[in-house]
Structure 1
Amino acid sequence: MIRRTVYVSDIDQLVTEEQLASLFLNCGQVVDCRVCGDPNSILRFAFIEFTDEESARAAVSLSGTMLGYYPLRVLPSKTAIAPVNPTSLPRSEDEREMCSRTIYCTNIDKKLTQADVKHFFESICGEVHRLRLLGDYQHSTRIAFVEFAVAESAIAALSCSGVILGALPIRVSPSKTPVRARSSPRSP
């Protein structure tokens, strides 16, 4: 597990877990992405776990990539993913409430569209407020953050883990971060 994990530091405070996971999808399938540290500081770091060691080795080559205003530092991790520090995420009561309505879904068949994924969850769990499908067609699977209108729908969605969607069994877990609206560039 440790060899499938990378440690990322120097993360800009406006960069979200979603943006970070999206960047590392180019290396392979992301199993988990945890941003840690003070959300108001540039001293944030993350652990990103992949399905295989080869993807983690490829991720190290992204060291120096600009994400936000700082180049990321990517190293092989010396530890497996640590539990989320509850003080670092989310940043407000509204975001805590948003997290309770959001799921993180992996192993999504790349043939599926955002509309397909939304329809699947709405037909079983209830109204989807926002959905971000991440990944590209070069990789065998994609990931999604799905925010429902109510927390009960997100709880219901957790029971969809293992359900075949397209040709693959999806994996669903509670999201540790809210699906934030895409932020506009910082004003000086």
Structure 2
Amino acid sequence: MAVVESGDSGAVVQPTSSPTSQDSDDQKSRIELGDEEGLYSKIGSHPEGSDGGESYKREMRELQELFSKLNPMAAEFVPPSLSKQANAGSFFPGAGNVPLEVNAYGNDNGGFRRKKSFGQGKRRMNARTSMAQRDDVIRRTVYVSDLDQQVTEEQLAGLFVSCGQQVVDCRICGDPNSVLRFAFIEFTDEEGAMTALNLSGTMLGFYPVKVLPSKTAIAPVNPTFLPRTEDEREMCARTIYCTNIDKKVTQSDVKIFFESFCGEVLRLRLLGDYQHSTHIAFVEFVMAESAIAALNCSGVVLGSLPIRVSPSKTPVRPRSPRHPMH
């Protein structure tokens, strides 16, 4: 407000105070970023007023200018309560003390509930880890063919051990009554498998063996599933174990695939569940030679995935008939 005084010298307009500086200071105090009350009072103010809404428009322009000065790349604000948890080890190590995004949503009670995708991401991580481990085992494994009928697993492993290689596992496969016998040998490291390739052509028994890089790993075996009779051991020689089968592929598709490339299938068991992203199968052929030919199908795409084929150490036993419930 201004006071108008009358005098001999004429009318003098004299300000009673410094409204400009006071108003500006008051204005700054109300729009200061840290002053939540002033900020929220602006947001909650009603647009209608005696000045036709001009004050509201002015305040909105001030808010717009205020928000335009915010830095979207600034570090995330962490409340002190969460900072204490961070010091207790809730943040990931090696992140430069910068909190990483937590896989959770806040609720109205101040608590957190985990995203449903957390378990799925964990399963994907486990699948990738398992696949990487399997590939590492394959690189440490060699395929040996043209084995003499009389050669045992101990003798075959001894051939590579005598050359300075450390053998983890050795498995001879194929019909014991056929000359078409082969083996898989796993070493402790990839260098051992590479060195073993130099033994290709070495005489073992009456035949020179062939040593090649393997396309499959030696699958672990549950002892309870091992063949118990001579007939079951003969069945194993005609059976292959197939993994990484697309879930969209049916049992009929698997049978047609192997019969097209390898030979007649006698028995087939396709297995899978909701926890795994792929299926597995045990395929028993009529002839042992067909099972050997099926090993060359490892890496061939069936459906949308490359399958893995290895010799089976367990027979495909017929399902026991189910007794009706009374």
Determine which of 233, 255, 259 is the counterpart of 1:122.
Answer: 259
Report the CA distance between 1:165 and its aligned residue. 0.7
1:78 aligned partner:
none
List aligned pairs for 1:1-188, cutoff 5 A.
Answer: 51=130, 89-136=226-273, 139-184=276-321
**8 Å contact from structure 1 (residues 104, 143) kept in 2:** yes
Deviations 1:111-161 (A, max 9, x none): 100000000000000000011110146642100000000100000001111
1:19 aligned partner:
none
Q: Which residue type is aligned with residue 179 of structure 1?
A: V
How many angstroms apart in 2 are the aligned matches of 1:82 and 1:125? Answer: 21
Q: Which residue type is aligned with residue 153 of structure 1?
A: S
**8 Å contact from structure 1 (residues 110, 139) kept in 2:** no
2:145 aligned partner:
none
Give the TM-score normalised by the residue count of structure 2. 0.31
**Secondary structure, counterpart of 1:97 in structure 2:** helix
**Secondary structure, counterpart of 2:279 in structure 1:** strand
How many angstroms apart in 1 are the aligned matches of 2:269 and 2:257? Answer: 14
Deviations 1:16-69 (A, max 9, x none): xxxxxxxxxxxx79xxxxxxxxxxxxxxxxxxxx937xxxxxxxxxxxxxxxxx
How many angstroms apart in 2 are the aligned matches of 1:108 and 1:141? Answer: 5
Report the CA distance between 1:90 and its aligned residue. 1.0
Q: Identity rate of aligned residues, in percent?
A: 79
Q: Which residue type is aligned with residue 175 of structure 1?
A: S
How many angstroms apart in 2 are the aligned matches of 1:156 and 1:118? Answer: 14
Relative distance call for 1:168 and 1:89 in structure 2 (3 A) is same
How many angstroms apart in 1 are the aligned matches of 2:281 and 2:222? Answer: 22
**Secondary structure, counterpart of 2:297 in structure 1:** coil
**8 Å contact from structure 1 (residues 104, 173) kept in 2:** yes
How many angstroms apart in 2 are the aligned matches of 1:87 and 1:140? Answer: 26
Relative distance call for 1:91 and 1:122 in structure 2 (3 A) is same
**8 Å contact from structure 1 (residues 103, 173) kept in 2:** yes
Report the CA distance between 1:101 and its aligned residue. 0.4
Of residues 173-182 and 134-143 in structure 1, the stretch that sits farther from structure 2 once superposed is 134-143
The structure carrying a bigger helix percent of its residues is 2
The structure carrying a bigger strand percent of its residues is 1
Relative distance call for 1:176 and 1:122 in structure 2 (3 A) is same
**8 Å contact from structure 2 (residues 225, 314) kept in 1:** no
Q: Which residue type is aligned with residue 51 of structure 1?
A: S
Of residues 137-146 and 125-134 in structure 1, the stretch that sits farther from structure 2 once superposed is 137-146
How many angstroms apart in 1 are the aligned matches of 2:223 and 2:268? Answer: 24
How many angstroms apart in 1 are the aligned matches of 2:234 and 2:276? Answer: 32
Q: What is the alpha-carbon root mean square deviation over aligned residues?
A: 3.2
Q: Which residue type is aligned with residue 286 of structure 2?
A: A
**Secondary structure, counterpart of 1:162 in structure 2:** coil
Larger radius of gyration: 2
